[in-house]
Amino acid sequence: MGHTYTHKGIKRIVYATGYSLQGLKFAWREAAFRQEICCCIPLSILTFFLSISATEQVLLVMSLGGILITEVLNSAIEAVVDRIGTDWNEYSKMAKDLGSLAVLLAIFLAIFTWVIILVA
């Protein structure tokens, strides 16, 4: 991992895609990510059958995507903290707790979005 990346153009995009797929493999190892995928995919599909505008559909799906993105970032924070050390540390706990809070806020935002669009 300590090497310089010199790929340019299409080759860089191909390599970047490979790294992203590796990230997906790492994310899939996380139970929370798998659970969120199992909720977000069916809900995203459901939006195609709702009587809503295209803008509302995009907002609903984006709110779900926000949960997944936040979960991936939370997992990245946890991996870095664990890489530093497994001993209990106030700052490590704070970083992990804040990452967890970010996921919870993303979930609340998604719920709020769905309620406002589907109920209001």
Distance CA 60, CA 110 (A): 7
Q: Which residues contact 32 (CB under 8 A, 6 or more apart)?
A: 71, 103
Using N-to-C axis directions, what is the helix angle for 31-46 and 9-28, rounded to 10°? 110
Percent of the chain with pLDDT over 90: 92
Q: Is 19 annotated as a binding residue?
A: yes
57 is known to lie in a ligand binding site? no
pLDDT at 4 over 80: no
Structure tokens at 46: 């459901």
pTM of the predicted model as reported, rounded to 2 decimal places: 0.89
For residue 1, pLDDT over 60 is answered with: no
Query: Quick one: average pLDDT of 65-75?
Result: 98
Question: Terminal CA-to-CA distance of the chain, rounded, Å?
Answer: 50
As a whole number of angstroms, the distance between CA 69 and CA 110 comes to 12
* H runs (alpha helix) in 29-89: 31-46, 54-84
pLDDT tens for residues 77-107? 999 999 999 899 999 999 999 999 999 999 9
Average pLDDT over residues 39-63: 98
Fold of 31-119: Helix Hairpins (1.10.287)
Delimit the domains of the chain by residue range.
31-119
Q: Interior CA angle at 60 toward 30 and 106, to 5°?
A: 45
Active site residues: 71
> Is 90 marked within a binding site?
no
List the Cα angle 89/108/45 in 5-degree steps.
120
83 is in an annotated binding site: no
Mean pLDDT over 22-44 rounds to 97
Give the pLDDT confidence score for residue 120 in this predicted structure: 84
Please tell me the distance from the alpha carbon of residue 107 to that of residue 66, in angstroms, as a whole number.
8
Q: What integer pLDDT is reported at residue 15 of this predicted model?
A: 93
